[in-house]
Structure 1
């Protein structure tokens, strides 16, 4: 599938601006008349981007950044990316949402970044697995399945309804702490409940879908702390069959350089 203008612009800012280090040119090419920022270490606007990434580029002269998955939904683009800095000295998984204007230029940005962990319980990496968008005609139906999962299981606490949404035959897991299948999911749930670290979804701020992929961006309470979670789901036959996530603890308000994570 050829990238649309919106997806091209989101990837361009990432790859040309950060990976290739051409910040000014990329910002001029791919952003609109404002750039509202929710990555808490970065100030709003092009100036904030340059101010943050200038020392980042100097610190990390060797950068391999891959945008592995994208979802386009209306004016929004989601990107799922892997960053390898300094030939493996630091490895990160990033999830981003970009909002765009009527010309497809980027005007707002949300993100979550987490350390790439290996090995994992399932033996799958945090980023491998299918990337191709299929079943475009099922976009709205798949979004409705995920909305039901949020309402009834994640926020409603109805663990007994989990098989209404997650396939009993296949549930490929990319969270490094969780095994494959409903068995792995159940075992993890039991462990976190007992340890008091269970994730409590307070609010889902964005739900975006395209074909067989649906992503949610949520404010979560975990172990008494506030977190930002991206959960990415792949669906097949009306059920969730695969899950990736990226989780970041939200720092105290006095450390923010903008209006905050959401």
Structure 2
């Protein structure tokens, strides 16, 4: 399937601007009349992008960057990305949302980045699995399922309702610490609760869906720390059947170079 202009621009900024190191060309081609930034280490604007990535490109001359999955929802584009730097010296998983203008040019950006971990408990990597968009007619219904799961299970703590949202037959897990299956996820929730640790979804800032994929960008409180979390879900038959996530602890406000993560 040919990428839409919005998806092509989001991919282009990553691949041409960062992977290929052609920052100025990419910014001129893919961004609009502003570039509001929420990656907290980067200042707003094209100048902030160049300022941040110039030393990054110098430190990392070998860059393997793969855009794995995209979701387009109105003006917004979500991308799930794997990065291997300097032949695997560092490996990262990133999740990004780009807002675009009426011409499809990028005008705002949010992201979360986490270290790639291997091996995982499930044997699935943080970045493998299906990516094909299907079931476009079920987009809104699938978004409703995910919203209900977050509201009732992750926010309200109603673990007794988890079967209403997650398939009892198939639940493929890409979180590196959790095994496949609904039973393993329920066990994980119980273990977190018994440990005395807190993990509370405070607010869902964006919920985007396209067919069988839905992504939520949330503020999560883990103990006393604030985290930005992307949860990517694949659904089939009205139930969640697969899950990926990317989690990043939010640093203190005095370290931000812009208005913040959200």
Shorter-chain TM-score bucket reads: over 0.9
| Aligned mates of 2:88, 2:115 — CA distance in 1 | 12
- 1:51 — aligned with what? 51
How do 1:82-161 residues align onto structure 2 when only pairs under 5 Å count? 82-161=82-161
Confirm or deny: 8 A CA contact 2:205 2:218 kept in the other structure.
Answer: yes
Q: Unmatched 5+ residue regions in structure 1? A: none
Q: How far apart are residue 156 of structure 1 and its match?
A: 1.6
The Cα offsets for residues 154-205 of structure 1, whole Å up to 9 and x where unpaired, read as: 1121111111100000000000000101111012112222233342000000
**Hey, what's the Cα distance between the residues in 1 that align with 2:172 and 2:197?**
23
Q: Is the 8 A contact 2:146 2:165 kept in 1?
A: yes
In structure 1, C-alpha distance between the alignment counterparts of 2:195 and 2:88, rounded to whole Å: 32
CA distance in 2, matches of 1:162, 1:187: 12
Contact 2:159 2:186 in 1 (8 A): no
Q: CA deviation at 1:34?
A: 0.2
* SS in structure 2 at match of 1:102: coil
Note if contact 1:218-1:228 (Cα within 8 Å) is conserved in structure 2: yes
Q: Structure 1 length normalisation: TM-score?
A: 0.99
The answer to whether the Cα contact below 8 Å between 1:17 and 1:25 also exists between their aligned partners in 2 is yes
Counterpart position of 1:177: 177
Aligned equivalent of 1:233? 233
Distance 2:65 2:174 in 1: 19
Partner SS, residue 208 of structure 1: strand
Per-residue CA deviations over 1:5-47 (Å, capped at 9, x if unaligned) read 0000000000000000000000000000000000000000000
Q: Spell out structure 1 runs of 4+ moving beyond 2 A.
A: 194-198
Q: What whole-Å deviation, never above 9, does each CA across 1:195-231 have from its counterpart, x for those lacking one? A: 3334200000000000000000000000210000000
CA distance in 1, matches of 2:88, 2:186: 33
How many residues matched? 262
Shift of 1:151: 1.5
CA RMSD in angstroms comes to 0.7
Structure 2 gap segments, 5+ residues each: none
Q: Structure 2: how far apart are the matches of 1:194 and 1:249?
A: 23
Kindly report which structure 2 residues correspond to 1:1-262, keeping only aligned pairs within 5 A, or say none.
1-262=1-262
Secondary structure, aligned partner of 1:242: strand
TM-score in terms of structure 2 length: 0.99
